[in-house]
Amino acid sequence: MTTTTSPWPALKALVIRLHLYIGLLIGPFIFIAALTGTLYALTPAIERAIFHDALTTSNVHPTSEYQPLSAQIAAAQAFIGSDAMPSAIRPAPQPGATSRVMFNAPDLGASEHRAIFIDPATLEVRDDLTVYGTSGSLPLRRIIDQTHRSLMQGDVGRLYSELAASWLWIAALGGLTIWWFSPGGKVSRDKQTPNAQRLRTRRRHSILGLVLLVGLLALSATGMTWSKWAGANFAAILKAGGWGTPHVMTDLHGAALPEDPHAHHRATTTSEDASIALSAFDRVLSQARSAGLDAGDIELQVPATGKAWKVREIDRSWPSQVDEVAIHPQSFAVIDQVKFEQYSIPSKLTRWGIDGHMGVLFGLPNQLLLAGLGIGIMTMIVWGYSMWWRRRTLRSTATLWQTIATVPARALVVVAMISLALGYAMPVMGVSLVLLLIVDGIRTLLARRSTALA
């Protein structure tokens, strides 16, 4: 009679060993991501205080008193001492706020602009700062954002944040599995014994992990959506399914543009940009508003030669206002329009997920929730190291390969297939897993050699 050995004890041991390795080796990267993410979540309130003069006007003026965009741009040009056209402009989103006239500069990085903050009523220049990205991050948030994303090391540094995001969900589900299949240990009456302290810490670690589980999975998933490698695979899936984020078409397809009788009034931007009159900004804004772009936060992007104006809503709070229109540079007719209602469900979820990850979807409550998640993650990692430190002398630690060797062949094939699929979808996780197995294999061979020589 043949007896079938259950694979569950061996699989549980494998999950425990992998969870330990993730905590020891990937934990520091997750800790840094959690720390910088917590700081990032808290920066909007800090920046509003630090850059209050730049973001607000000296007096709250009714919108009826606002000067045209052309006058605001002229004031910014006079301030910088150049008639160069801005690359984009963000009109004041509400009374008491400033407008941003944004210029390109050769000394700025990708997605960075020099922003001149203008009082839309008095045309007073309130500040001159470098801003970044769609969120319009100011210098403090920009530094924290780049530290969180890449440790200020560019694309190479993005490996760290993708590594953390790729393993976070595995660590979270692994912890859930260990908790589910592990009986609760009784704490010794002698609370000072290492074992009693370890059990108390494990209980706290488990409870906190359960409380944060949904948030951990959400942070991991949304973090990977804009990572370099896993994010590219995710974007490819959305595109293949027709679920990508839609954008207006700004290419004029080389069509001959109608003759403009006011060309002599235009100021020349660069050799790549079309010659644009300042009055065009007012007409484009009016046309965009007529087309239904009614969000307070809106951006006008100046077209290059052969391109149309792009005007987009940039209000990422709830409910999201991210409609776009493309406007012909001569006729000022709307030639294309995309509304958020047209987004597919996956693209809407992606939009909301990223905005929630950034702390802008629900404002202050969203930011406080992210800060709480970050602090909770850091606490769990510290407790995890504490448990490992107290347990390290209680029993010998088996290597990962030794644990894998105990898994029945059929279960091991399934585990291998799942690992290969995940490694392909998340290349940074896959490569790091291979490296982990190589290092652990060396450790296993050294352990066997040490035992043989003993």
pLDDT tens-digit profile of 250-302?
999 744 444 444 333 333 333 334 468 999 999 999 999 999 999 999 999 99
Residue 263 is given by DSSP the state G
Reported as a single tens digit per residue, the pLDDT across 364-393 is: 999 999 999 999 999 999 999 998 887 765
Give every residue of the chain whose pLDDT is below 50, as ranges: 1-2, 254-274, 394-395
- What residue spans define the domains of the chain? 11-44+149-238+360-453, 61-133, 246-253+273-342
Q: Which of 139, 144, 142 is nearest to 54 (CA)?
A: 139
Number of H-type helices and E-type strands within the chain: 14, 8
pLDDT of the residue at 88: 97
Phi, psi of 125 (to 5 degrees): -80, 120
Residue 26 is given by DSSP the state I
- For the chain, the C-alpha Rg in angstroms (whole number) is 28
DSSP 3-state of 251? strand
pLDDT of the residue at 447: 75
**CATH class given for the domain over 246-253+273-342:** alpha beta
Strand order in the sheet with 99-103: 125-132, 112-118, 99-103, 88-90, 298-301, 309-313, 324-327, 334-338
Contacts of 182 (CB under 8 A, 6+ apart): none
Distance CA 100, CA 157 (A): 30
